Amino acid sequence: MQRRHFFAGAALGAVAATSVSRVALAALPEAVQQSSADTAAPWTPPGVTGAGRPYQPVVTLNGWTLPWRMNQGVKEFHLVAEPVVREMAPGFLVNMWGYNGQSPGPTIEVVVGDRVRIFVTNRLPEHTTIHWHGQRLPNGMDGVGGLNQPQIPPGKTFVYEFEAKRPGTFMYHPHADEMVQMAMGMMGFWVTHPKGRHPLIQEVQRDYCFLLNAFDVQPGSMTPQVNTMLEQNIWAWNSRVFPGISPLVARLNDRVRVRVGNLTMTNHPIHIHGIEFEVTGTDGGPVPKSARWPEVTTDVAVGQMRQIEFIADEPGDWAMHCHKSHHTMGAMGHGVPTMIGADHRGLVGRLQKVNPDYMVMGERGMADMGEMEMELPANTFPMMTGTGPYGPIEMGGMFTTLKVRADLAAGDYRDPGWYAMPPGTQSREVASAPTPPKAPSPDTKAAPAGTARKPQGHHGHH
């Protein structure tokens, strides 16, 4: 079970200070660091007490919201691009590049009309930039290295400044050595809340966000292969893989929004069990109500953002995952031959004389992998992992659960544990297969009760 990291304490206190000296105003805002890969509780802006926050904050799955400081009417943020070690699942560590201690970087959360100033310090071994994906902004703030600005050299700090013009779901990522820097995990989420009520943006009780990302981390290694185009083996949400992804928790009948952005090299059909949702927003903003339809899977193509919404009106632990079945798997060899139906028991002994490491796998399917205690190279993410109350879940990648409970407090995001099913509502084994009901046919009525009809050929029906 994961523990939540409630983001509070010394680091936050420093940026939350309301009185800032002239010297401090001139200095860069503190670059707040995050050491935990757990889901942080929503950040409370300085000066906000009780329910005074003017919006329902987002909760970033296995991520956090970057604190800002107010400087003469401008919200100031400080991102530091730097090498990080990300814990992708408990015990599975990967060398990445990210921001402020983690990959992805922190979520930036603002309100329409905010003047935003973002300082970007480069602590990478090569130059970088940040592109603010989807934003309306002056051309010189768009962050394409070489086209809109000089690259940010290692050791230097650049500043971006623009107004958050439209509400919605955005991303940020480098537009410099992009293939390498994104393959190393450099990306982050951005949410702009509407100012006051918006005719197409409903109020929600829970608002979650995460990025789809993918890595090629060879078994036993710690650094992604950055030149891999499509055969990534680690399919992640916010640089985490099941069972390392926090559940989405909702109170019964909450309206829930989930924002998803895709920065991998392929599309991901995101599927949620138990409810129907609508896509209420895309990259371009809120979807007109007449253009929404119910569905249970929505494809998020490369470079896209999707905002889905639903009423969490069915209690339970509902699976939520990418529907490409290879994307809910950990590191695996795609070149392994299919052995279903091949009885090679007699061969094993002979083959092991030649190759002592020879192992039989997959002759009855691959489900054995879920409980296999095979010795893996150090720091290798298993192909299938994660255990539920009824055994191995046989997943490992873009998978988590939507946990809907009646007895949650508003704003409680803690994992409530496994769902206790009401008696008689779970699939179960039966003693033996029941007698199939007789197919209605004209002579069924004619047959005396208790008389078994002899099977007849097809010509026997008339």
Q: Which is nearer to Cu ion, 324 or 414 (CB)?
A: 324
Q: According to CB under 5 A, which residues from 356 to 415 bind Cu ion?
A: none
Identify which of residues 152 and 182 has a Cβ nearer to Cu ion in the complex: 182
The Cα–Cα gap between 56 and 193 comes to 8
Q: Does 211 bind Cu ion (CB under 5 A)?
A: no
* Residues ≥6 apart with Cβ < 8 Å to 221: 379
Helices then strands, each counted (H, E), the chain? 4, 23
Report the residue from 322, 331, 369, 404 that binds Cu ion according to the rule CB under 5 A: 322
- Of 82-90, 244-252, 323-331, 332-340, the segment contacting Cu ion by CB under 5 A is 323-331
Does 131 bind Cu ion (CB under 5 A)? Our answer is no
Question: Binding of Cu ion at residue 268 (CB under 5 A)?
Answer: yes
Identity of residue 249? V
Using the rule CB under 5 A, give the single segment among 85-93, 237-245, 327-335, 376-384 that binds Cu ion.
327-335
Residue 239 identity (one-letter amino acid): S
Binding status of residue 312 toward Cu ion by CB under 5 A: no
Region near Cu ion per CB under 5 A, out of 87-95, 108-116, 140-148, 318-326 = 318-326
Smallest separation, CB 328 to Cu ion (Å): 8
Q: Which is nearer to Cu ion, 79 or 322 (CB)?
A: 322
Task: Name residues whose C-beta falls within 8 Å of residue 411's C-beta, 6 or more positions apart in sequence.
Answer: 42
The nearest distance, CB 300 to Cu ion, in angstroms, is: 9
Of the pair 69, 327, the CB lying nearest Cu ion is at 327
Q: How far is the CB of 324 from Cu ion (least distance, A)?
A: 4
Q: Is 259 in the site for Cu ion (CB under 5 A)?
A: no
Using the rule CB under 5 A, give the single segment among 31-39, 109-117, 171-179, 316-324 that binds Cu ion. 316-324
For Cu ion, the closer CB: 89 or 116: 89
What are 182's two structure tokens? 């994104």
| 324 lines the binding site for Cu ion (CB under 5 A) | yes
Chain centroid offset of residue 233 CA: 16
Nearer to Cu ion, 234 or 404 (CB): 234
At closest approach, how far in Å is the CB of 264 from Cu ion? 8
Rg (CA), the chain: 26
* CB < 8 Å & 24+ apart, contacts of 17-20: 17/46, 18/46, 18/47, 20/69, 20/71
Binders of Cu ion in range 78-107 (CB under 5 A): none
Non-local (6+) Cβ contacts of 333 within 8 A are none
Phi/psi of residue 355, each to 5°?
A: -130, 100
Integer Cα distance of 9 and 292 in angstroms: 43
Give me the residue label for tokens 């100033």.
117
DSSP 65: B
Q: Interacting stretch for Cu ion, rule CB under 5 A, among 89-97, 121-129, 314-322, 359-367?
A: 314-322
For Cu ion, give the closer residue by CB, 173 or 327.
Answer: 327
Least distance CB 266 / Cu ion (angstroms):
7
Q: What are phi and psi of 354, to 5 degrees?
A: -85, -45
Question: Of the two residues 322 and 329, which places its CB atom closer to Cu ion in the complex?
Answer: 322
Binding piece for Cu ion, criterion CB under 5 A, among 103-111, 124-132, 240-248, 321-329: 321-329
d(CA 120, CA 127) in angstroms, rounded, equals: 12
Tell whether residue 327 is a contact of Cu ion (CB under 5 A): yes
Choose the binding region for Cu ion from 169-177, 179-187, 266-274, 370-378 (rule: CB under 5 A). Answer: 266-274
Task: Count how many residues are written for the chain.
Answer: 462
What is the smallest separation between the CB atom of 376 and Cu ion, expressed in angstroms?
23
The contacts of residue 450 (CB under 8 Å, 6+ apart) are: none
Peptide bond into 382 cis (omega under 30): no
Contact between 211 and 187 under an 8 Å Cβ cutoff? The reply is yes
Shortest separation between residue 367's beta carbon and Cu ion, angstroms: 21
Task: Give the burial class of 198: count Cβ atoms within 10 A of its Cβ; 0-12 exposed, 13-18 middle, 19 or more buried.
Answer: middle
Would you say 255 and 205 are in contact if contact means Cβ atoms under 8 Å apart?
Answer: yes
Residue 271 binds to Cu ion (criterion: CB under 5 A): no
State which residue, 285 or 303, has the beta carbon closest to Cu ion.
303
Binding flag, residue 321, Cu ion (CB under 5 A):
no
The tally of CA atoms less than 13 A away on the side-chain side of residue 183 is 18
Give the nearest distance from C-beta 232 to Cu ion in angstroms: 10
Binding footprint of Cu ion on the chain (CB under 5 A): 268, 322, 324, 327
